[in-house]
């Protein structure tokens, strides 16, 4: 029996396909991986974060992107779409299309049952290789909880958790805070069924 292997794509081939596609796919090690859609709760949380942070960064040289900004982790080759991306000052892209960011400062992922292990472990192991990345936030959907990683040195990250509505997640790399209450505004956590 002959086993046929799927041909590996180059990063350039992936970008050409992805730029024409109607749906989003991640890319790693020559393969494309289709991404699933997001729930109402997920979308509300992302919208709340973007609204609050973009208001605070209005007069600063920072851009904030939700869901559709592709980030390339050049050291590992991963191309992915974080839920929220913040880039400041010397913002660099893969090419003139300006749709593949190379220099995020803050990355935020809203966790779901199907992706939380990937976001917390595999994806973060890639993200840590980005020399520009200063903070990584993991936001729960089923309860008010934010895991906040802040880079201390090249290979050291400090984790803090916030789970009270009165808590404020302070992001030192962009000089602003985000309250748990604002993150979960209009999000019905009572209807969540584990």
pTM score? 0.90
* Cα(190)–Cα(79) distance, integer angstroms: 35
Q: Which residues of 99-124 are buried (b: 16+ CB within 10 A; e: fewer)?
A: ebbbbbbbbbbbbbeebeeebeeebb
Q: What pLDDT digit, counting tens, does each position of 33-54 carry? A: 888 778 899 999 999 999 999 9
CATH number of 39-183: 3.90.1570.10
What are the tens digits of pLDDT across the range 86-141? Answer: 999 999 999 999 999 999 999 999 999 888 888 999 999 999 999 999 999 999 99
């Amino acid at each position: 029996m002959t086993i046929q292997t799927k041909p590996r794509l180059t990063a350039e081939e992936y970008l050409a396909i992805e730029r024409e596609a109607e749906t989003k796919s991640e890319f790693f090690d020559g393969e494309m991986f289709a991404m699933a859609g997001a729930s109402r709760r997920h979308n509300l949380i992302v919208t709340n974060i973007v609204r609050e942070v973009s208001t605070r960064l209005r007069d600063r040289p920072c851009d904030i992107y939700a869901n559709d900004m592709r980030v390339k982790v050049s050291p590992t080759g991963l191309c992915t779409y974080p839920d929220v991306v913040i880039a400041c000052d010397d913002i660099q892209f893969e090419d003139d299309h300006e749709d593949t960011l190379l220099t995020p400062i803050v990355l935020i992922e809203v966790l779901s049952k199907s992706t939380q292990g990937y976001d917390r472990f595999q994806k973060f192991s890639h993200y840590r290789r980005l020399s520009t990345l200063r903070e990584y936030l993991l936001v729960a959907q089923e309860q008010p909880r934010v895991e906040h990683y802040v880079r201390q040195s090249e290979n050291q990250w400090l984790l803090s958790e916030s789970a009270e509505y009165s808590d404020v997640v302070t992001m030192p790399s962009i000089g602003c805070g985000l309250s748990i209450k604002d993150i979960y505004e209009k999000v019905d956590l009572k209807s969540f069924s584990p």
